Amino acid sequence: MSRGGGRDTIREIMGKFKRDNLYSGGGPDEPGSKVNRRDQAIAIALSEAGIERRAGENPQYKKRSPQEQESKRRKRPRFGI
Task: Flag whether pLDDT at 1 surpasses 70.
Answer: no
Spatial distance between the Cα atoms of 30 and 27, rounded to a whole number of angstroms: 6
DSSP H or E segment with residue 36: none
Would you list the domain boundaries of the chain? 3-57
pLDDT, tens only, 29-70: 887 889 999 999 998 898 888 877 666 666 555 566 777 766
Read off the pLDDT band of 74 (50, 70, 90): low
Mean pLDDT of 13-17: 93
pTM summary value: 0.55
